[in-house]
A and B are shown apart, each in its own frame.
Chain A
Amino acid sequence: MIEVENLVKRYGNMTAVKGINFRVEPGEIVGLLGPNGAGKTTTMRMLTGFMPPTEGTIQICGFDVVEDSMSVRQRVGYMPERVPVYPDMTVEGYVTFWAKLRGVRDVRARVHAVLEQFQLLDRRKQLVRFLSKGLRQRLGLAQALVHQPPVIILDEPTIGIDPRQVIEVRDAVRSLREGHAVLFSSHILSEVEQVCDRVIIINHGQIVGEGTPETLSRQLAGRQQVFVVVEGGSDARISAFLRKIPDVVHVRAMDDGFLITTKSDVDLRPTLSRLITQEGFTIVEMRAVDASLEDVFLTLTETKQP
Chain B
Amino acid sequence: MTGTPIIFRRELAAYFTSPVAYLIAAAFLVFTAITFNQDLAFAITVRPVDPALIPRVLTQLLIFIAPLLTMRLLAEENREGTLELLLTAPVSDASIVIGKYLAAWVYYTFLLALTLVYQIILVNIAFPDMSHTLGAYIGIWLYGGATLAVGLVFSALTESQVLAAFLGMIALLILYFADRIGQIVANIDLGLIIFQLTLQGHFIPTFAQGVIRAEDIVYYAGLIVVMLFVSIRLVESRRWR
- A residues with a Cβ closer than 8 A to B are 11, 45, 48-52, 70, 73-74, 76, 78, 80, 82, 84-89, 97-98, 100-103, 143
Contacts and interface: CB of A to CB of B under 8 A. Distances in A.
- Indicate the member of B10, B18, B80, B240 with the most A CB atoms within 10 Å: B10
A97 B239 contact: no
* 3 shortest interchain CB distances as A-B pairs: A84-B81, A73-B90, A84-B82
A50 B86 CA distance: 9
A48 B86 CA distance: 11
B90 A82 contact: no
Contacts of B14: 86, 88
Given A48-B88, A78-B85, 12 more contacts: A49-B88, A50-B84, A50-B88, A51-B240, A73-B90, A84-B83, A84-B85, A97-B10, A101-B6, A101-B91, A103-B90, A143-B85
B87 interface: yes
A53 to B, nearest CB: 11
B62 interface: no
B82 A85 contact: yes
B81 A102 contact: no
Contacts of A78: 85, 88
Nearest to B91: A101
A78 B81 CA distance: 13
Contacts of A97: 6, 10
A143 B88 CA distance: 13
A84 B80 contact: yes
Given A86-B14, A103-B90, A98 B85 contact: yes
Overall SS of chain A's interface: loop
Interface in B36-91: 80-91
Interface size class of B (residues with CB under 8 A): 20 to 34
Contacts of B87: 49-50
A42 B83 CA distance: 16
B82 A86 contact: yes
Nearest to A144: B85
B2 interface: yes
Nearest to B81: A84
A52 B238 CA distance: 11
Contacts of A73: 88-90
B7 interface: yes
A80 B239 contact: no
Contacts of B89: 73, 98, 101-102
Contacts of A76: 88
8 contacts: A49-B87, A76-B88, A84-B84, A88-B17, A100-B6, A102-B89, A103-B90, A143-B85
B189 to A, nearest CB: 46
B128 interface: no
A73 B241 CA distance: 20
A52 B240 CA distance: 7
B191 interface: no
A246 B81 CA distance: 50
Given A88-B14, A88-B18, A51 B91 contact: no
Nearest to A78: B88
Contact of B81 (A52, A80, A89, A103): A80
A100 B2 CA distance: 10
A34 to B, nearest CB: 20
A88 B76 CA distance: 12
B8 to A, nearest CB: 12
A290 B98 CA distance: 60
B208 to A, nearest CB: 38
- Indicate the member of A11, A52, A76, A101 with the most B CB atoms within 10 Å: A101
Contact of B239 (A52, A74, A100): A52
A14 B15 CA distance: 41
Interface in B83-116: 83-91
Given A50-B239, A80-B81, A85-B82, A101 B88 contact: no
A163 to B, nearest CB: 25
B141 to A, nearest CB: 28
A275 B21 CA distance: 74
B84 A74 contact: no
A80 B85 contact: yes
Interface string B197-230: 0000000000000000000000000000000000
A8 to B, nearest CB: 15
A101 B7 contact: yes
A50 B18 CA distance: 29
Nearest to A77: B88
